[in-house]
Amino acid sequence: MTDIEAIGHQLADLVKRYSADYIEARLEQSQKSSITYRGRELESIGQTTAIGGNIRALLRGGWGFVSFNNLEGLPDKVELAVKQAKLVGREESKLAPVEPIVDTISTPHNPTTKSLAEKKQLLDEYNEIIWRTPKLQTSVIAYSDSHKRVIFLSSAGSYIVQERSDINLRLSAVAAEDGEVQQAGLSVGSAGDFKAISSLHQPVAEMARHAVELLSAPQVKGGEYTVVLDPVLAGVFAHEAFGHLSESDLVYENERLRQIMVLGKQFGSKELNIIDSAAVPGLRGSYKYDDEGVPATKTYLIREGKLVGRLHSRETAARMMEKPTGNARAINYRYPPIVRMTNTYIEPGEASFDDIIADIKEGVYAKNWFGGTTAMEMFTFSAGEAYMIRNGKVAEALRPVVLSGNVFTTLNNIDAIGNDLEMNQGGGCGKGMQMPLPVSNGSPHIRILKCLVGGR
Amino acid sequence: MEDILAQAKRVAEEAEVFMVSSEETPVQFEANRLKRIQGKQSTNVALRIIREGRIGYASTTDLGDTLRLVNSAAETAQFGIQARFKLPQKTTYPQIDVFDPDTESIPIEKMIELGEGLIALITRHTPDIICEAMVSKDIISLRLMNSGGGEASYRKSIFSLSMWGSLIRGTDMLFVGESQSSCHPLTTPHEVAEVVIQQLELAKNRASVPSGHLPVVFTPRGVVSAIIPSLMMAFNGKIVLQGASPIGNKLGEQVFDQKLSLWDDPTIAYRPTSRPCDDEGVPSQRTPLIEGGAVASFLYDLQTAALAHTRSTGNGNRSGGLPTPSPTTLTIAPGKTTFDEMVGDIKEGLVIEQLMGAEQGNILGGDFSGNVLLGFKIESGKIVGRVKDTMVSGNVYQVLKEVAAIGSKPEWVGGFILTPPIYCSRLSVASK
């Protein structure tokens, strides 16, 4: 096995010798394993190892970036990155200052060292439970885990060795009857702790039952409703609808968007607080330093309904004259770091779930995550489960619903926030071809007035 | 590769080594300016073995550590599924041109010029638009060899030009964009610019639609965002085998409108998704999927085909794991109606260019439901303006059972599918 530590020290010396405004490098060594089931059978099982690195150079505001698996000929690679930066650079380089850091961070979990037999045993149990449900057509279980060791070093003298682990498990059940096909899913994960995914027998059984239930469920009539989101879906809303707008790389060179996203602007009620924090330990989006070597922080994006912060890389922070937040992340060594979320959540309020639905005559209770995308002001997200709310009670199950709206009006239309914060560790986030990045999001139950629900 | 194969043969009955190397050069523009140039070198070796009848798999980017690769594959084979197929033997492949030396030799300066030229054309039309653009070339070398003597290798060049523009006025935001790619280098930015400028022109005025059922014309880009994801799952041999495809047991049956024909064809020269053979060494072929509205066949790789008692269609694709059936270069046959005739036929309806989130619903069942990211209102046969806060939902099988018309002018979308516009007479629309 190649020793990236030795190469790291060589590179640390090398990057100081070139004339650029700033040079940094990352070296990465990773192991992954994955197991998937389709239907009753195991479909594939595999193990992957990777080694690689990159060099990023900044010169007169322009970036060059070179990535590689082949760790030979490093001086040529540094030279190429500098040459590319020179072709791009036409202004002054700006980077928010950070202290050089030398540190080593290890993770308590390495799921890739657990035996394949043990992983398979657990997944067999879940598959068994799924297939005890009648009317099932097929099912999918996709498990993956990873462990990586990353060396970050810069011409300013930083040298950080950081380990990270991740586990991601998606399950879905597909039911069919008379040409109708319906599915239900479950998505969970952890920062490498296998225990976090090893006692899901109950939720897995419920998921399979729900897929079958949907076969006889009606489709909601399209239109505007009062909608209650469960913690999972509200977390997706916080991430998709609002979180992406807080990523400064979208904002800093866009004068009009800067005017919309002016700090201090009121976006919601006094009860609304939205936070992004990689500094909370133990979640899938947690870390000590980001991929530019900046320490993680807890950032209030919305406090008491007002826009008070946003997420930054060193460059966006400098250009907007704000403080860096440590949110520059890269999915792996093949990509430069870009501004990303980490653990994003709505802070809990006072209301119980019963309070929230009590005075709804006709509404929709949307639960569970299926997916979500956003295009600035517009978002759509889909619920894996949905029910009508009638006269203050959760009523009949509905086919999965897609919710859509304008983020500015929707935030303003949140009129109740529950007291039951939960963090969802499933899924992953995609941006600029870099996906899935481990993140988590969360919320208590929330209520949104006048939300557009798609139906037939 | 020969070494890995030799080592693998010592622990397994059959073995296959698959190696991809790529040199990619993306030139990126942000906020109307050149921002970043990248150079990405990567090599990945994947080993698939059959040991005691079971499939094992491992991959690595560390070419110095082949013993670990072989051991790792052997370990996974203990739990792997039963192999039902034989690896292909030595064969001859069709000559499919997917490499253009002009793409390889195009200098970075020329790529910068192309991106700057594109942004200049767009900002000349709409000065306050903010554009992101990417000009990229990718040179890929692919090689595979197996213990049965099968061997294949080819080189591919991919050149692409993409841009996304956002226009923000107050809290109103408009998104436009287009992406084209080919094995040939693009020499001018005009084609991409033309699509985007057309989008900007049509979006100048605003219009609103009522909730209810309306006729809808999907542009080629609209077809790809709303309809294709469901169809691609339905024609995937693996999903058919599981019984989860709504058309899986309808081979030969008239499920779609008879005007509709769709095929998968990786033998079309110089398309980024074309190739002489698939990632398992099976020769490329044209596979009809829908012929005159009837389900004609499904897409298979070796293992899925063996389980379904049929032959691989050469659609074994790898994206970082074991091969799995997936489409290559798709074509929807053109019809007889022009786009203008479709619009002219509608009293009140919609043109959909981009549907956001359409793939989030129950796509297995054919449902699509999404926000109209870019779409236009038709009034009395004319496009009158852009619609916002509007959702469209439908089911692919209901919508395509009877289509009002199929367009006469197909366009390549994203480099991998050639499709005309499709006109549907009735779709559910919800709006604010």
Domains in chain B: boundaries: 2-200, 206-432
The confidence score (pLDDT) of residue B357 equals 72
Cα angle value A241/A243/A246 (rounded, 5°): 120
The answer to whether the Cβ–Cβ distance between A69 and B373 falls below 8 Å is no
Cα angle value B142/A1/A68 (rounded, 5°): 45
A4-214: CATH homologous superfamily?
PmbA/TldD superfamily (3.30.2290.10)
The answer to whether the Cβ–Cβ distance between B360 and A336 falls below 8 Å is no
ipTM of the complex: 0.85
**DSSP calls for A293-329:** SPBP-EEEEEETTEE---B--HHHHHHTT----S-EE
Q: List, in order, residues 6 or more apart from B207 with CB less than 8 Å away.
A: B376, B377, B379, B384, B385, B386, B387
Q: Which chain A residues are closer than 8 Å to B132 by Cβ?
A: none
Report the gap between the CA of A194 and the closest CA in chain B (Å): 19
How far, in Å, CA of A215 to CA of B72, rounded? 42
How far, in Å, CA of A161 to CA of A26, rounded? 10
Lowest mean pLDDT among A307-316, B71-80, B361-370: B361-370
HSE on the CB side for A157, CA within 13 Å? 5
Q: Which chain A residues are closer than 8 Å to B59 by Cβ?
A: 46, 48-49
How far, in Å, CA of B46 to CA of B44, rounded? 7
Return the DSSP state at A15. G
A375 vs B: CB within 8 A: yes
The answer to whether the Cβ–Cβ distance between A373 and B173 falls below 8 Å is no
Q: pLDDT-derived band of residue B361, with 50, 70 and 90 as boundaries?
A: low
The answer to whether the Cβ–Cβ distance between A183 and B42 falls below 8 Å is no
Is residue B345 exposed (0-12), middle (13-18) or buried (19+ Cβ within 10 Å)?
middle
The beta-strand segments (E) located in A208-351 are 223-229, 274-277, 298-303, 306-307, 328-329, 338-339, 343-346
B187 vs A: CB within 8 A: no
Chains A, B: CB contacts within 8 A come to 251
Give the one of A1, A46, A64 whose C-beta lies nearest to B321's C-beta.
A46
HSE on the CB side for A224, CA within 13 Å? 13
Contacts for A412-416: CB closer than 8 Å, 24+ residues apart: A412/A267, A412/A268, A412/A269, A413/A448, A413/A449, A413/A450, A413/A451, A414/A268, A414/A269, A414/A272, A414/A446, A414/A447, A414/A448, A415/A269, A415/A447, A415/A448, A415/A449, A416/A349, A416/A351, A416/A355, A416/A356, A416/A446, A416/A447
Residue of B nearest to A224 (CA): B432
Beta-strand pair B316-317/B324-325:
antiparallel
Give the one of B60, B244, B369 whose C-beta lies nearest to A49's C-beta.
B60
The pLDDT profile of chain A, 456 residues, written as one tens digit per residue, is: 678 999 999 999 999 999 899 999 999 999 999 999 989 989 899 999 999 999 999 999 999 999 999 999 999 999 999 999 999 999 999 999 999 999 999 999 999 999 999 999 999 999 999 999 999 988 999 999 999 999 999 999 999 999 999 999 999 999 988 878 888 999 999 999 999 999 999 999 999 999 999 999 998 998 999 999 999 999 989 998 899 899 999 888 877 778 889 999 999 999 999 999 999 999 999 999 999 999 999 999 999 999 999 999 999 999 999 999 999 999 999 999 999 999 999 999 999 999 999 999 999 999 988 777 777 778 888 888 999 999 999 999 998 898 988 898 999 999 999 999 999 988 788 887 788 899 999 999 999 999 999 864
Within B219-288, where are the H helices? Answer: 220-226, 228-234, 237-241
The answer to whether the Cβ–Cβ distance between B365 and A402 falls below 8 Å is no
The answer to whether the Cβ–Cβ distance between A46 and B369 falls below 8 Å is no
How far, in Å, CA of A336 to CA of B261, rounded? 42
Q: How far is CA A145 from CA A197, A370, B54, B198, in A?
A: 11, 21, 22, 46
Q: Which chain B residues are closer than 8 Å to A256 by Cβ?
A: 128, 130, 168-169
Residue of B nearest to A185 (CA): B362
Residue of B nearest to A61 (CA): B35
The confidence score (pLDDT) of residue B407 equals 98
The answer to whether the Cβ–Cβ distance between B72 and A47 falls below 8 Å is yes
The confidence score (pLDDT) of residue A376 equals 72
Residue limits of CATH 3.30.2290.10 in chain A: 4-214
Residue of A nearest to B360 (CA): A371
The answer to whether the Cβ–Cβ distance between A41 and B76 falls below 8 Å is no
Of the candidate CATH numbers 3.40.109.10, 3.30.565.10, 3.30.360.10, 3.30.2290.10, the domain formed by B2-200 belongs to: 3.30.2290.10
The confidence score (pLDDT) of residue B358 equals 64
A322 vs B: CB within 8 A: no
